[in-house]
């Protein structure tokens, strides 16, 4: 398989698309100084290469009725593969979990959860999170307000 090296135009395309995935191909082509057909081929190529994994629409959590954001630190009883895999397989199926990271340091997982209210978070804890085998400790921190939330990766170091 031939390795494809992205050029400056590819990185510009990615930078624009991650800010606005709904941009038309004509507008995108104009912004990167290409005609529409080659621009469309580049986007398709970036998708096939896995640089673009999917396109989404971001919703305002408050307007969607999910104003409560909780960051949850989870510590497992033991860090054995079986327990870690079991926990990961549970978490990916919970719609309240927006992000989950396996961590180094004082706890094993950091999870971002969104819920409509505190009662819903308590139900999430009681019925889902604390029911997972091998769980040792859960520490919840409630977000008072978002200060910075980004979905775009900083690609400035790749664009000339």
Q: Read off the pLDDT band of 2 (50, 70, 90).
A: low
- If one counts the domains in the chain, the total is 2
* Cα three-residue angle 140-75-150, rounded to 5 degrees: 55
Tell me, yes or no, whether 44 and 77 share the same domain: no
Q: Are residues 103 and 44 in the same domain?
A: no
What digits encode the pLDDT tens for the residues 22-70? 999 999 999 999 999 999 999 999 999 999 999 999 999 999 999 999 9
Alpha helices in 2-158 (DSSP H): 8-19, 25-31, 36-48, 81-91, 118-127
Has residue 147 been placed in a domain?
A: no
86: number of Cβ within 10 Å: 16
- The pLDDT, as a whole number, for residue 13 is 97
Give yes or no: residues 130 and 72 share one domain: yes
**Token pair of 123, please?**
């139900």
Residue 1 reports pLDDT greater than 60: no
Q: 39: domain CATH number?
A: 1.10.10.10
Whether 62 is covered by a domain: the verdict is no
Q: Minimal CA–CA distance to 32: which of 82, 94, 46?
A: 46
**Count of all residues that appear for the chain in the document:** 160
CATH classification of the domain holding 81 = 3.30.70.920
**Residue 117, C-beta contacts closer than 8 angstroms, at least 6 positions apart:** 67, 68
Boundaries of domain holding 106: 68-142
Is residue 2 a part of any domain in this protein?
no
Is 80 found in the same domain as 38? no
Each residue's pLDDT tens digit, 92-147: 999 999 999 999 999 999 999 999 999 999 999 999 999 999 999 999 999 999 99
């Amino acid at each position: 398989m031939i390795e494809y090296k992205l050029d400056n135009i590819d990185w510009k395309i990615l930078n624009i698309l991650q800010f606005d995935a709904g941009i038309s191909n004509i507008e995108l082509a104009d912004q990167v100084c290409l005609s529409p057909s080659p621009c469309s081929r580049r986007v398709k190529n970036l998708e096939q290469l896995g640089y673009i994994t999917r396109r989404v629409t971001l919703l305002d959590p408050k307007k969607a009725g999910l104003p409560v954001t909780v960051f949850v630190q989870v510590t497992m009883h033991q860090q054995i593969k079986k327990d870690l895999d079991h926990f990961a397989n549970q978490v990916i199926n919970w719609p309240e979990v927006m992000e989950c990271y396996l961590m180094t340091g004082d706890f094993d997982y950091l999870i971002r959860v969104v819920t409509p209210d505190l009662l819903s978070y308590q139900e999430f804890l009681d019925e889902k999170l604390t029911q997972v085998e091998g769980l040792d400790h859960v520490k919840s921190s409630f977000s008072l307000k978002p200060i910075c939330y980004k979905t775009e990766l900083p690609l400035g170091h790749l664009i000339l």
